[in-house]
Chain A
Amino acid sequence: MSIFRNRTTTAALVAVAAGALTLTACGGGGGSSAEDNSKSKEDAKSQSKPVQIGDEKASTGPAAEVPGAKAGGTAIVYQEADFSHLDPGQIYVSDGKLLSRLIYRGLTQYAEDDKGNLTVVGDLATDAGKVSDGGKTWTYTLKPGLKDENGNPINSADIRHSVERLYSTYITDGPSYLQQWLSGSGTTYRDAYAGPDKGKHLPDSVLETPDEKTVVFHFKDAQPDLPQMLTMPGYSVVPEETDTKEKYDTDPVATGPYKIADFKPGKSMKLVKNTQWDPKSDSVRHQYVDGFDIEMNHDDEDQTKTLLADQGDAKNAMMFTGQVATTQLQAVVGDKSVLGKRTIEGYAPYVWQLNFNLDRVKDKKLRDAITLALPATSVFKADGGAYGGEVANSLMSPTTPGYDEKYDPFNRAKKPNGDIEAAKKLIEEGGFKGKKLVYAYGNTPVRQQQAVLIADALEKIGLDIQKKEIDSATWYEQVGKVKNGYDLYMTGWGQDWSSAATVFPPLYDGTQIQDGASNYSHINDEHVNSEIARIVKITDTDQATKAWDALNKYISEKVNPAAPIYYTKVFQIFGSNIGGIRYSSDSSYVDVTRVFLKK
């Protein structure tokens, strides 16, 4: 479940490139080099195959050396805004994810090869998990000698505590998959258990710690995706004895290769080596640089310019979730000494779609007409130019297993910038000429331009479009209301891990319509609902993938609750002295665990 949001950015004031801050955990991705734009869909296809499960050997450290890597030096990181959260339980967005890769550890993590293929391996656990009881019971064994930054050993009680604290009222922002799978869907899990603060634990029938090293999860249903789900930073360990609850969000305890030495909220953060981290216990992470100096308040444009200029300290500088600013694309792409050598490029898992509020836009013909008329090319180009994205042919992302590149229900291949004629015909057939529709958009420069483009196209087919601007900081909260009062609104969604199971249920399950739910189009179709309920229980990945593909086609053709517009891409630049840069399919940004300084 992921959406584009970043509430600490003054989005209204910045030219928000590509997707501003994007969210965590996504499978698939593009290559590490900047290929010709047109080819990347092919690459994504080869990478959208299901994730492999690694064995105990793959989970044993130390990690294989990065070729040419050297130890020492401090890398500088430019970030636009402060991390929205430091408490692992609250981390859902990408900035926190990248940081958590450096300072936190969970039960599992992804190992990644040079092609972007992902393998789930054990992180704190010896392997990706042992399944039994038809997928309902998962058992994890902790590696020996694990310690947090204070030198306290990490044992099964800490894992239990990390899970239990997710039920506390102060945990509001993190993912809730685990809680829901263990104790009930929606927010009902909160009724089942109120958190560890009153001394109560989850019953052993749910979460069991038979000894210091063993953790057993008991689910109501089969949960084949658990190892992938546990890689999310939201499920990183919080050592029980040093948990400060609410205050943990500003002063957390590190378990990964680095720890926070100094943190000035909104300004800077200094990471130094965590000497308690044992490289032999970690099969993925490295500890090449001595530390990271994270400087905030550098917007994308600023980051790009500084990194492109490559002067002084900037040689040692890198991006985290920053992207090459739209305005700098030309300069970056035009510089042969930079493109591909100091840049990485790849797919972000996000699909931008124009949701129809089905409570208000009830006629499918109207929806089809609008879908056909959308100027997809222009819209994505407004959001980052040629490198910002690609026309979307389907509601599924090229990074999601099951994506069918040839599927093209709305003639995007031939008319990528809208088929006005075909749309007009539908409008005339349905007699929708002059119909008033409210198009809501987040009030940022990019969304404003897209609104102009979309309104222009829809007015050409005879609709009366009322553009309504909304604070970008609370955009999703506002369109997430069931009675939001708008007809059309664009949202972006990306998988949390490489499975359509993190896309279709949250977006199209009619049983989940409520304020704050992400079924933005309010689709409530019997067939869709039942199919979703059926497919999530399929344990065979290939079979499930096929079923999702079929459901995708049904949704678009029979209901059309949302028009696909574009897929987003990530394009980053680094200082010339930064080594080991590689696009990570896991984070959809640079892989921060293998960064080193060349000199």
Chain B
Amino acid sequence: MTSPIELEGAETPSLVDKESAPQEGAKESKKLEGRSPGQLMWGRFKRDRTGVISAVVVLFFFVIAAAAPLISMVYGKDPYTLYGQERPELLDMFTMPAGPAGGMTGEFWFGIEPVLGRDVFTQLLYGIRTSLLTALAATVLMTVVGVLIGLAGGYFGGKSDYWLGRITDFFMALPNQLFFVAAMPVITTVFVAPDEETPTYVRTCAIIIVLSFLGWMSMARLIRAATLSLRDREFIEAARISGASPWRIIRKELFPNIVTPVLVQFTLTLPSTILSIAFLSFVGVGYVEPTPDWGRMFAIGARYIEQDPYYMLFPGVAMVVFVVAFNLLGDSVRDAFDPKTGR
């Protein structure tokens, strides 16, 4: 039993499990005096040091992603100029950065890219920007689709649930990553004139569409299960008997109770979406040269890891930090919503 249900308690007639969780009961009694669930969640979250730090880290990534153009302006480099080509002394005869540690200098903070000789720092900034924004859009879209389908199936049950379930099964049975790879060229070739460069926004849209088209099922299943378990609960029944419309019940009664699984799933999905985008770029159907992309940096870095491990260093560390922070943040968000399952 999750605590959002108990928070509902004040306005629902049945609260059978209060006594079984005395700590909760004790705390509820205070909550009921004043603060809203949101404030409580925020209060609890604020006290979770790991959560706050992870949130700061994640926020930091989003901020630098958003401010990439600004930062690069101040820094005085951009991710497209081939510095190594304009200044041949930057690359050695193997087209690797000539300077030590991947060519890190006061001028090129994170070194320069092998072969083409672009600036790694701005490349990473813009790469994070590309990946994050694409992943965010895709994850939001697949979350929305998943929640809607899950709610519809779980709440209405019967035939619609059956068919939605079958559709979900169908998509689950698809070898996803294979389909990403197979579908991407189709989308890009169908929508772009044969003699024009595929614009980056078309690729972005294609990636978002493909990923969310094939990525909503876990969310839908989760929400369906949660909705099913909630549907027959007394407070829903009560709302139904009191004549509330299905939409109202979904919105007012069901939705607040599935926020936790949705948020937790969202925080799980976002990093994995970033990794899926990286996968697409890795096999050459996602972003292509010269778009700076986090995932593509891995593909490049993996190619030169032995000669120039420093190129991989910053994207790699950044990725690990980001994914870890995001996962910890997910835990904290869940704890804040539902202290029982936390640490």
Touch A–B, Cβ below 8 Å: yes
Q: Which residues of A contact B (CB under 8 A)?
A: 12-13, 15, 327-331, 333, 375, 378, 381-382, 385-386, 417, 438, 443-445, 448-449, 451-453, 456, 465-469, 471, 485-486
Which of B27-35, B192-200, B243-251, B312-320 forms contacts with chain A? Answer: B192-200
- Chain A residues within 8 Å of B307, by CB: 327, 330-331
Q: Which residues of B contact A (CB under 8 A)?
A: 82, 85, 88, 93-96, 115-116, 185, 194-198, 282-285, 288-290, 299-300, 303-307
Closest residue on chain A to residue B94 by CB atoms? A385
Of the listed residues B95, B185, B283, the one surrounded by the most CB atoms of chain A closer than 10 A to its CB is B95
Partner of B195, one of A327, A451, A466: A466
Assess whether B196 is in contact with A466, with CB atoms less than 8 Å apart. yes
Q: Can you list 21 residue pairs at the A/B interface with Cβ under 8 Å? A: A12-B285, A328-B306, A330-B94, A330-B307, A331-B306, A333-B94, A378-B85, A385-B93, A386-B94, A444-B284, A445-B284, A445-B299, A445-B303, A448-B284, A448-B288, A449-B116, A451-B289, A466-B197, A468-B195, A469-B198, A485-B195
The smallest beta-carbon distance between B112 and chain A, in angstroms, is 14
Closest residue on chain B to residue A448 by CB atoms? B289
Taken together as a complex, chains A and B put the C-alpha atoms of A237 and B192 apart, in Å, by 49
Taken together as a complex, chains A and B put the C-alpha atoms of A91 and B284 apart, in Å, by 29
- Chain B residues within 8 Å of A375, by CB: 85
Of the listed residues B282, B283, B307, the one surrounded by the most CB atoms of chain A closer than 10 A to its CB is B307
The smallest beta-carbon distance between A559 and chain B, in angstroms, is 23
User: Given A12-B284, A382-B115, does the pair A449, B197 have CB atoms closer than 8 Å?
Assistant: no
- Chain B residues within 8 Å of A327, by CB: 303-307
User: Given A13-B284, A444-B284, does the pair A385, B95 have CB atoms closer than 8 Å?
Assistant: yes
Assess whether B95 is in contact with A381, with CB atoms less than 8 Å apart. yes
Assess whether A452 is in contact with B197, with CB atoms less than 8 Å apart. no
Q: Give the number of residue pairs across the A-B interface with Cβ within 8 Å.
A: 78
- Chain B residues within 8 Å of A465, by CB: 197
Taken together as a complex, chains A and B put the C-alpha atoms of A566 and B82 apart, in Å, by 20
Taken together as a complex, chains A and B put the C-alpha atoms of A466 and B303 apart, in Å, by 26
- Chain B residues within 8 Å of A417, by CB: 85, 88
Q: Give the top 9 A-B pairs by smallest Cβ distance, nearest first.
A: A466-B197, A12-B284, A448-B289, A386-B93, A385-B94, A485-B195, A381-B95, A438-B195, A452-B289
- Chain A residues within 8 Å of B194, by CB: 468, 485
Closest residue on chain B to residue A301 by CB atoms? B303
Assess whether B116 is in contact with A468, with CB atoms less than 8 Å apart. no
Assess whether A15 is in contact with B303, with CB atoms less than 8 Å apart. yes
Taken together as a complex, chains A and B put the C-alpha atoms of A467 and B196 apart, in Å, by 7
Assess whether B115 is in contact with A329, with CB atoms less than 8 Å apart. no
Taken together as a complex, chains A and B put the C-alpha atoms of A465 and B196 apart, in Å, by 9
Assess whether B290 is in contact with A452, with CB atoms less than 8 Å apart. yes
Partner of B116, one of A333, A382, A443, A471: A382
Assess whether A486 is in contact with B82, with CB atoms less than 8 Å apart. no
Partner of A452, one of B96, B116, B304: B116
Assess whether A381 is in contact with B306, with CB atoms less than 8 Å apart. no
Partner of A453, one of B116, B282, B283, B306: B116
Assess whether A438 is in contact with B284, with CB atoms less than 8 Å apart. no
Assess whether B94 is in contact with A438, with CB atoms less than 8 Å apart. no
Partner of B96, one of A13, A15, A330: A330
Closest residue on chain A to residue B118 by CB atoms? A452
Taken together as a complex, chains A and B put the C-alpha atoms of A12 and B181 apart, in Å, by 12
User: Given A327-B303, A375-B85, A386-B93, does the pair A449, B115 have CB atoms closer than 8 Å?
Assistant: yes
Assess whether A486 is in contact with B195, with CB atoms less than 8 Å apart. yes
Closest residue on chain B to residue A447 by CB atoms? B289
The smallest beta-carbon distance between A355 and chain B, in angstroms, is 15
Taken together as a complex, chains A and B put the C-alpha atoms of A15 and B93 apart, in Å, by 18
Partner of B94, one of A329, A451, A452, A485: A329
Assess whether A452 is in contact with B306, with CB atoms less than 8 Å apart. no
- Chain A residues within 8 Å of B196, by CB: 438, 466, 468
Assess whether B95 is in contact with A382, with CB atoms less than 8 Å apart. yes
Partner of A443, one of B197, B284, B306: B284
Taken together as a complex, chains A and B put the C-alpha atoms of A486 and B194 apart, in Å, by 9
